């Protein structure tokens, strides 16, 4: 992480939740989870905390095929095959983009915090349904 800015109390709450749950969440889900844990925070404050941490490179935002944005930690890039019919999302384990990321950093002096790689199509089950 390039920037070492101090986190606000609200940013710390949001980051701690993402670290604890080990999954990406929407701003609304983060708000609801913190509210359920009796941590007083407004939805607008959650969005502000997420925006600030995204700019700092501490978290990443991913827009799902549904249009919803989810936020997660930047320490690991996750890539997926997304079915446009049933919505299934299958993680891809190997990343062919890491070498390109390093090359872009070197060639353009551009600090890459994270990247995403998404493929869209039909999963095996949906393909089978089309042929039946």
Q: Tens digits of per-residue pLDDT, 63-95?
A: 887 889 999 888 666 688 888 888 888 888 788
pLDDT score for 2: 44
Q: Tens digits of per-residue pLDDT, 33-43?
A: 999 999 889 99
Q: Residue 49 pLDDT more than 70?
A: yes
pLDDT score for 1: 41
Cα 36–Cα 39–Cα 40 angle in degrees, nearest 5: 110
How far is the C-alpha of 96 from the C-alpha of 15, rounded, in Å? Answer: 28
pLDDT score for 77: 65
How far is the C-alpha of 80 from the C-alpha of 74, rounded, in Å? Answer: 16
- Alpha helices by DSSP H, listed for 22-96, are 27-36, 43-56
If you average pLDDT over every residue of the chain, what do you get? Answer: 87
79, 91 contact by CB (below 8 A): yes
Report how far apart, in Å, the C-alpha atoms of 100 and of each of 79, 96, 120 are: 15, 8, 21
pLDDT score for 69: 92
pTM of the model: 0.65
Alpha-carbon dihedral angle through residues 106, 107, 112, 116, given to the nearest 10 degrees: -120
pLDDT above 90 covers a percentage of the chain that reads: 45
pLDDT score for 79: 80
1-74, CATH topology level: Arc Repressor Mutant, subunit A (1.10.10)
Domain ranges for the chain: 1-74, 77-132
Tell me the average pLDDT across 117-132.
88
How far is the C-alpha of 125 from the C-alpha of 52, rounded, in Å? Answer: 40
One CATH from 3.40.50.970, 1.10.10.10, 3.30.1490.190, 3.10.20.30 for 77-132: 3.30.1490.190
């Amino acid at each position: 992480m390039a920037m070492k800015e101090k986190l606000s109390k609200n940013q710390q709450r949001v980051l701690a939740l993402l670290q604890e749950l080990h999954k990406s969440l929407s701003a609304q889900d983060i708000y609801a989870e913190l509210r359920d844990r009796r941590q007083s925070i407004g939805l607008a404050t959650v969005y502000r905390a997420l925006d600030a941490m995204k700019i700092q490179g501490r978290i990443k935002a991913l827009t799902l095929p549904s249009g919803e944005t989810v936020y997660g930690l930047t320490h690991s890039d996750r890539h997926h095959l997304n079915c446009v019919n049933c919505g299934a999302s299958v993680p891809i384990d190997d990343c062919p983009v890491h070498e390109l990321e390093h090359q872009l950093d070197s060639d353009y002096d551009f600090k890459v915090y994270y990247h995403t790689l998404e493929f869209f199509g039909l999963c095996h089950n949906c393909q089978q349904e089309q042929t039946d």
